[in-house]
Chain A
Amino acid sequence: DAKTTQPPSMDCAEGRAANLPCNHSTISGNEYVYWYRQIHSQGPQYIIHGLKNNETNEMASLIITEDRKSSTLILPHATLRDTAVYYCIVSSGGYQKVTFGIGTKLQVIP
């Protein structure tokens, strides 16, 4: 079973920030939070990951709560090309089986 819970769908206006939440209340101390996205029928694309500090890269920002039980992926200025299914997963690395949930289908609206 997936260790994360995400809303099944969200809409966002083009140019606005998209904030995608994820709950991972049973996360272990050595598990990282990863975000991937999948544009229709393509392989999932890595976005960002973090352990406990907030992270930012050229694609997005990741905000992790202090208790690490939830996180938010922020796409600062959503474009139509950001329409995709976004997956939040937790993993401690190669030895651990990775389970993807159903993800959040983000629709960016013109």
Chain B
Amino acid sequence: KAGVTQTPRYLIKTRGQQVTLSCSPISGHRSVSWYQQTPGQGLQFLFEYFSETQRNKGNFPGRFSGRQFSNSRSEMNVSTLELGDSALYLCASSFDSTGGPDTQYFGPGTRLTVL
């Protein structure tokens, strides 16, 4: 099976712009989670989608949003970019076996640089 893919891998934007990142989960996986990783804050949970619905959300401002499509592919959007949004954005997918273990598989990430 192909792994989790994320596009683009690298992105450079300027303050005030918006950006959309894409994630294609492993085939058959229904849950997609997004994380932000910065040197100072580590790996922080952004949100999780299942069946096109956001099920969980981390402590990020409303500028961070996402969605999931019927084929489980997901996008996240950051509007009005700030310098502090520079980070590695990671997507993870899982099958979501409710009531049992649910291993997440991570993509390679999108490295966003805000100038």
| Contacts from A to B (Cβ < 8 Å) | 30, 32, 34, 36, 38, 41-46, 49, 51, 87, 91, 93-103
Contacts and interface: CB of A to CB of B under 8 A. Distances in A.
What's the dominant secondary structure at chain A's contact region? loop
B56 A96 contact: yes
Most-contacted residue by chain A among B4, B43, B88, B101 (CB, 10 A): B43
Given A43-B90, A43-B108, A46-B103, A94 B50 contact: yes
Nearest to A96: B56
A100 B4 contact: no
B33 interface: yes
Interface of B: 4, 31, 33, 35, 42-45, 48, 50, 55-58, 88, 90, 92, 94, 96-109, 111
A43 B4 contact: yes
A38 B91 CA distance: 14
Contacts of B111: 41
Contacts of B48: 94, 97
B101 A49 contact: yes
A45 B107 CA distance: 9
14 contacts: A32-B101, A36-B104, A36-B106, A41-B111, A43-B4, A44-B106, A93-B96, A93-B100, A93-B102, A94-B31, A94-B48, A94-B94, A97-B56, A98-B45
